[in-house]
Structure 1
């Protein structure tokens, strides 16, 4: 894991944990929703493993659709099975199979019960068709009513690509940017889409994560996006950028 925040105008501070990069206060947060595009599922699972390493019990679930888990799965509303999985590994991925290799949300009553047996519930609360950037429709994202914190993901592989090829709901992005569908995405575009699509609508704490940032050039673009977000009145304290380093 290699994530950074920008302090001042140029100084970069490397964060030594995912929870710090995501701005999550470990003693206070309970329900964390992941929205946007470009790494939601990866982010959920990395954070879950970090929280478990700190002795937390974590449930992963969704309010939309999420690919079926390869491990830690509890794919029916079975309290005994879920508790057994938490006791065994500290993580349970909970949902209802809905076809096409995906799972959907559990019932409201089972969700309420899950909160009583876990320290954290991590929720994938947005769909993105596996594209790196998204503009949400009016009914999106689907945040649980008790969400404490939101992580907004953007994948920087969208940069320099035509809007219609890299953006979920690119027609809505065209309206925000006043551009053609073949317009190649620039750092200022990313900032505007994130600010207008998500940040300006959220009434609870959030962090913007600029993911898929590997090269020095991409790092420079990330800093440019952060400065553009600052001009749009989004605090740079709420933004981090980087990439997951897999060993």
Structure 2
């Protein structure tokens, strides 16, 4: 299965897709971008927070702190736009208003936004100022890396562990399990915080690379379905290996 199929991309309209959470956002964004490029689409990859400076092979055009030259945006290309490059070699993001202004230019077929920071952890809880989702976002993909299962809730394993404890009714140093992940997904201050009702929500359970994680992903899926939490799709996969374990879909 292609990654674009996971998010029900039909190639019939222009979209903004925002990625939140932790545990594979950047990898997911660029792999999806390459698939869309191969479909001869004009793809913009950007961030409303910050991402590590991309490799040259991941884009065709890189714009930092400059205006868009429409004539340089070609079909079948990936453009990366950022505000500036930090001392840590991170590409700092645009405001969500700026991303919406670019969307309104109708230059790009798809705008893929990394809308959340996670400091390379596999699971996180958002702070008050997170995530930063552009207004015109059509779909929000909430990412969780299931390599967090069985690890302790602390600064080493969880981005913002105190907030994670508050949301999941847990204590520091407790083990992360499927029930805690379920609570993170459905809590209004959790994975999909600040996602509008108009946005289609997808849960992406990433790094599902062994039988035990497959079973855990299935249990999380059943808990979410039973809760009747409004979500369009639940996906278990290894994005880096492009290995899809399952996708559950509600009717669109």
Coarse TM-score class (shorter-chain normalised): 0.7 to 0.9
Q: Which has the higher helix share?
A: 1
Superposition deviation, residue 76 in structure 1: 3.1
**Per-residue deviation at 1:160?**
0.2
Partner of 1:222: 217
- TM-score of the pair, normalised by structure 2: 0.83
- Distance apart, 1:131 and its partner CA: 0.4
Where does residue 178 of structure 1 map in the other structure? 169
Q: Which moved more, 1:96-105 or 1:210-219?
A: 96-105
**Contact preservation (8 Å) 1:163, 1:182:** yes
User: 1:60 maps to which residue?
Assistant: 45
Q: 1:122 offset after TM fit, Å? A: 0.5
Where does residue 198 of structure 1 map in the other structure? 191
SS of 1:226's partner is helix
SS in 2 for 1:79: coil
1:116, 1:236 → 2: CA distance?
28
Which shifted more, 216-225 or 96-105?
96-105
Take 2:25 and 2:233, find their aligned partners in 1: how far apart are those partners?
Answer: 17
Tell me if structure 1 keeps the 8 A contact 2:13–2:109.
no
Q: Which runs of 5+ in 2 are unaligned?
A: 244-252
Q: Which residue of 1 aligns with 2:134?
A: 144
Contact 1:226–1:236 at 8 Å: present in 2 too? no
Q: 1:110–1:169: structure 2 CA closer, same or farther, 3 Å change rule?
A: closer
2:126 counterpart of 1:133: no
Is residue 17 of structure 2 the alignment partner of residue 32 of structure 1?
Answer: yes
> Which residue of the partner structure matches residue 27 of structure 2?
42
SS in 2 for 1:234: coil
Higher relative contact order (Cα pairs below 8 Å, separated by 6+ residues): 1
Shift of 1:178: 2.3
User: Aligned runs of 1:7-26 on 2, under 5 Å?
Assistant: 16-26=1-11
Match 1:102 to one of 81, 90, 108: 90
C-alpha displacement at 1:190, in angstroms?
0.7
Measure, in 1, the Cα distance between the counterparts of 2:242 and 2:235: 19
Return the offset for 1:231: 2.7
Deviates more, 1:164-173 or 1:180-189: 164-173
Could you tell me how far 1:110 is from its partner in structure 2? 7.4
Of 157, 160, 164, 1:169 maps to 160
